[in-house]
Chains A and B, each alone.
Chain A
Amino acid sequence: MTDHTEASPTPKTRTNRPGAFALLVNNRLAAGGLLVLGVLVITALAAPILPLADPNATAPADRLHLPFTPNHPFGTDMLGRDILSRLIWGTRVSLAVGVSATLIAAFFGSLIGLIAGFSSKRVDSVLMRGIDMVMAFPYILLALSIVAVLGPGLINALYAIAVVNIPFFARNIRGITLGLSRREFVDAARLSGKSRPHILLSEILPNVLPVIVITMSTTIGWMIIETAGLSFLGLGAQPPQADLGSMLGEGRKILFTYPHVSLVPGVMIFALVMSINLIGDGVRDILDPRLRSGALARPVARTAVARSRKPDTRPLMEATVLDVKNLRTEFRIGSTVLKAVGGVDLHLMPGECLGLVGESGSGKSVTAMSIMGLVPTPPGEIAGGSIFYRGEDLVAAKDSRIRVLRGGAVSHVFQDPLSTLHPLFTIADQLIETILAHQPMSRTEARDHALDLLKQVRISNPDERLNAYPHELSGGMRQRVCIAMALANDTEIIIADEPTTALDVTVQAQVLALMDNLRREKNAAILFITHDFGVVSAICDRVAVMYAGRIVETGRTEDILNSPAHPYTRKLIDCVPVLGEPERRLEAIEGLPPSVDDLPRGCAFAPRCPYADADCRHGDIALTATNGGRAVRCIHPLAQTTEETVVG
Chain B
Amino acid sequence: MAAYIFRRLLAAIPVLFGLTVIVFFIMKLIPGDPATAILGSYATPENVARINAELGLDKPMLQQYVIWLGNILHGDFGRSYSLNKPVLDEVLGRFSATLILAGTALVLCSILGLVVGIVSAVRQFGWADRILTFIVLIGISTPSFFLGLLLILFFAVKTRLFPASGMYAIYGGGGILDLIHHLTLPAITLAIVATGVIARLTRTSMLEVLRQDYIRTARAKGLSERKVVMKHAFKAALVSVVPVIGIQAGFVLGGAVYIETVFQWPGIGSMLVTAISTRDLLLVQGGVLVVAASYVIFNLIADAVQTMLDPRLRR
Contact = CB atoms under 8 A, between A and B. Distances in A.
Interface string A244-284: 00001000100110010011001001100110011001000
B288 A420 contact: no
A471 B311 contact: yes
B220 A374 contact: yes
A229 B258 CA distance: 7
B276 A144 contact: yes
A423 B214 contact: yes
Nearest to B283: A148
Contact of A133 (B19, B125, B281): B19
B29 interface: yes
A407 B312 contact: no
A274 B125 CA distance: 21
Interface string B1-31: 0000000000000010011011100110111
Given A149-B281, A252-B262, A17 B125 contact: yes
A374 B223 CA distance: 13
Interface string B204-240: 1011101111111111111111011000100110010
A262 B221 CA distance: 58
Given A255-B149, A298-B210, A133 B22 contact: yes
Given A148-B276, A149-B30, A408-B222, A233 B261 contact: yes
B103 interface: no
Given A152-B276, A420-B214, A273 B141 contact: yes
A403 interface: yes
A643 B99 CA distance: 82
A320 B309 CA distance: 45
Nearest to A295: B211
B143 interface: yes
B295 A136 contact: yes
Interface residues of B, number: 86
Main secondary structure of the interface of B (DSSP, over half): helix
A147 B122 CA distance: 44
A490 to B, nearest CB: 13
Contacts of B258: 140, 229, 232-233
Given A148-B275, A262-B149, A424-B310, A225 B143 contact: yes
Contacts of B51: none
B161 interface: no
A296 interface: yes
Given A136-B19, A406-B219, A422-B214, A235 B255 contact: no
Interface in A204-241: 221, 225, 228-229, 232-235
Interface stretch (A409-417, A448-456, A590-598): A409-417
A594 B217 CA distance: 30
Interface in A17-44: 17-18, 22, 25
A138 B142 contact: no
A161 to B, nearest CB: 12
Nearest to A252: B149
B276 A141 contact: no
B18 A424 contact: no
A149 B26 contact: yes
B140 interface: yes
A433 B223 contact: yes
Given A274-B138, A296-B207, A471-B311, A137 B295 contact: yes
Chain A CB within 10 A, most for which of B125, B288, B295, B296? B125
A477 to B, nearest CB: 16
B121 interface: yes
A235 B216 contact: no
A404 interface: yes
Contacts of A273: 141-143
A233 B257 contact: yes
Given A137-B292, A407-B222, A274 B121 contact: no
Contacts of A262: 149
Contact of A405 (B27, B222, B288): B222
A546 B257 CA distance: 66
Contact of B214 (A18, A421, A438): A421
B87 interface: no
Interface stretch (B57-65, B88-96, B104-112, B150-158): B150-158
B220 A407 contact: yes
A88 to B, nearest CB: 18
B143 A403 contact: no
A259 B213 contact: no
A411 B220 CA distance: 7
A414 B221 CA distance: 12
A291 to B, nearest CB: 10
Contact of A140 (B31, B220, B257): B257
Nearest to A225: B143
A212 B257 CA distance: 30
Contact of B26 (A145, A228, A406): A145
B254 interface: yes
Contact of A141 (B142, B225, B254): B254
Contacts of A141: 253-254, 257, 272, 288, 291-292
B143 A419 contact: no
Interface in A459-501: 469, 471, 482, 485
A146 interface: yes
A76 to B, nearest CB: 19
A144 B288 contact: yes
A299 interface: yes
Contacts of A407: 220-223
Contact of B143 (A145, A146, A266, A420): A266
A424 B222 contact: no
A485 B221 contact: yes
A306 interface: no
29 contacts: A136-B18, A136-B19, A136-B295, A137-B250, A138-B291, A140-B255, A141-B254, A144-B284, A144-B288, A148-B275, A148-B276, A248-B145, A252-B262, A270-B142, A274-B142, A277-B141, A296-B207, A298-B122, A298-B210, A299-B210, A376-B216, A406-B222, A408-B222, A416-B213, A419-B214, A423-B214, A423-B311, A433-B221, A433-B223
Interface of A: 15-18, 22, 25, 132-134, 136-142, 144-152, 221, 225, 228-229, 232-235, 248, 252, 255-256, 259, 262-263, 266, 269-270, 273-274, 277-278, 281, 296-299, 301-302, 372, 374, 376, 403-408, 411-412, 414, 416, 419-425, 433-434, 437-438, 469, 471, 482, 485
Given A255-B149, A376-B211, A419-B214, 7 more contacts: A137-B19, A137-B295, A138-B251, A148-B284, A229-B143, A301-B225, A407-B220
6 closest residue pairs by CB, A with B = A140-B254, A407-B222, A266-B146, A406-B222, A407-B221, A133-B18
